[in-house]
Amino acid sequence: MRKIRDVLRLKLEAQLSHEQTAAALSISKGVVTKYLGLASAAGLSWNQIQALDDTALHGRLIGPPRRASGFVTPDYGRIHQELRRKGMTLMLLWEEHVAQHPDESTHRYSQFCENYRRYAKALKRSMRQIHRAGEKLFIDYAGPTVELADGSRAHIFVAALGASSYTFAYATPRETMADWLGATAQALRFFGGVPQLIVPDNPRALIANPDRYEPRANETVLDFARHYGTSILPARPYHPQDKGKVESAVQVVERWILMRLRHQKFKTVDDVNEAIGPLLEQLNAKLFQKLPGSRASAFAEVDAPALQPLPAQMWELAVYKTVRVHIDQHVEFEGHRYSVPQALVGQALEARVTARTVELLHRGQRVASHLRCAHKGGFTTVPEHLSAAHRAHMEWTPERLVHWGNSIGVATGSLVTRLLQTRRHPEHGYRACLGLLSLAKRYSKPRLEAACVVALELGTTNSTHVRDILANGRDQVAPTTTTEWTAPEHEHVRGPGYYQ
């Protein structure tokens, strides 16, 4: 069909003569006349021919092919694509074929299946696998990289859908777990939906245990799968045929995209992605060689309707760590402490940490969520998480204690201030101040004020001394006045003048 299209292009668009067209395509002038006559008989202009794919053009020029036996030959390329739809069977396709040609000879079902299998074997080995629509997304990294201006290299992530081979390529700085998952999230956004399975190789960045029978992904990868409602199914180690779709896509990306970028200079990874975009669109629009349509048309017809919808929010990288609740009802992450409900003291929790939040999970259930803080040694506390005693303790401040003392009397306020100032940290004096102020309930405020006057005269910094003063009643003893002492008159007293 490409030769026929070239003949029509050179004649109808380029306006070459029969002889020039035949020489350019290495065919005879009779063949040129034949194809030009078919187009004329079908009433096709060059603009109409451009809008038709190869299958449609063949049908307009030559009509559906017939075998010498007179049986109508089905379009096995279309049948091969239709089988990728979930629930599609050869029986249904055969019945539709028979219904389309009620007045013509068609094969029996057994011969129909045999002819299709013969056709499928003629395709590439990787194309013989039947991938259901919207079922699998294959991901991998290309071998070649793209050099950047600073000497680093951009790594090329490739993803391909199983049924349509619709391809996505994306440059990342490295091949870390964050790069793998971030690029996969971009791929799902590009496709506009989520497949049932995502099939990577067995990179250490994603797969914690690359076992042949029970591979295990790490917690961050499982969190990614839960967010998008999909599943990660690694290929078997050393079995590239398990992901032949992406192996083929990687090869196509290397040839169609990376080779076209080899002479360009890029400063950043974003510049590489900007250059990949237009080439990726051309790659997906390129017609298949043995199948009707292109990756883009197959995706729109087969894969796109079968994909699950994307979640409302894009995935955010989360790191998991096991933490234990201390007796102060806080857990510690990177030197900062975050509160949890008091009932979980002593329990081991799972911390899910993103760039902005710290979520604490107990048996899979979220029990606390805080904004992430980088202040080492600091506390992020929700009062409702703490016990009644701890909440009451948090409500006290030095200013509140001094204000309470002054409400009793000046001496009480002064003694409270002294108790706070003489401690290494003000909080160390909270209990002493509360013990001092609680004496007002037992002995009355006036007696406490009088006892504080005595305590200040004694210079004490201990609330228990004030309690003893009240218990002994010293606050109720009137202060004694002392007269100035004078030396008595006596004949043996020399007096101050003697020493002059």
**Mean pLDDT of residues grouped by 10 in the chain (500 residues)?**
74 77 76 78 78 74 56 83 75 87 85 85 56 85 90 92 90 90 92 90 72 66 86 70 71 86 89 92 86 87 90 82 83 87 86 86 86 83 71 64 87 86 64 81 89 88 86 76 52 55
Please tell me the CATH code under which domain 136-306 is placed. Answer: 3.30.420.10
Handedness of CA 127, 133, 136, 141 (dihedral sign): positive
List the 319-324 sheet strands across, edge first.
319-324, 348-353, 357-362, 365-371
Predicted local distance difference test score (pLDDT) of residue 427: 54
Q: What is the pLDDT of residue 442?
A: 86
Phi-psi region of 145 (alpha: psi -120 to 50; beta: other; left: phi over 0): beta
DSSP 117-168: HHHHHHS-GGGGS-PPTTTEEEEEEEEEEEEBTTS-EEEEEEEEETTT--EE
Supply the angle between the helices 29-42 and 54-61 in degrees, to the nearest 10: 90
Q: Provide the residue ranges of all domains of the chain, joining segments of one domain with +.
A: 2-125, 136-306, 319-386, 396-476
Bridge-partner residues for 337, per DSSP? 332, 379
d(CA 413, CA 403): 7
Task: Tell me if 394 sits within 8 A of 342, measured CB to CB.
Answer: no
pLDDT at 127 (0 to 100) = 42
Would you say 361 and 384 are in contact if contact means Cβ atoms under 8 Å apart?
Answer: no
User: Is 291:285 a contact under the CB 8 Å cutoff?
Assistant: no
The pairing of strands 336-339 and 379-380 is parallel
413, 445 in Cβ contact below 8 A? no
Cβ within 8 Å of residue 194, ≥6 positions away: 188, 228, 229, 230, 307, 308, 309, 310
**What pLDDT does 480 receive?**
54
What is the model's pLDDT at position 68?
A: 42
- What is the pairing mode between strands 153-161 and 167-172? antiparallel
Strands 136-147 and 153-161: antiparallel
Q: Please state the pTM of the whole predicted model.
A: 0.50
| Bridge partners (DSSP) listed for residue 172 | 155
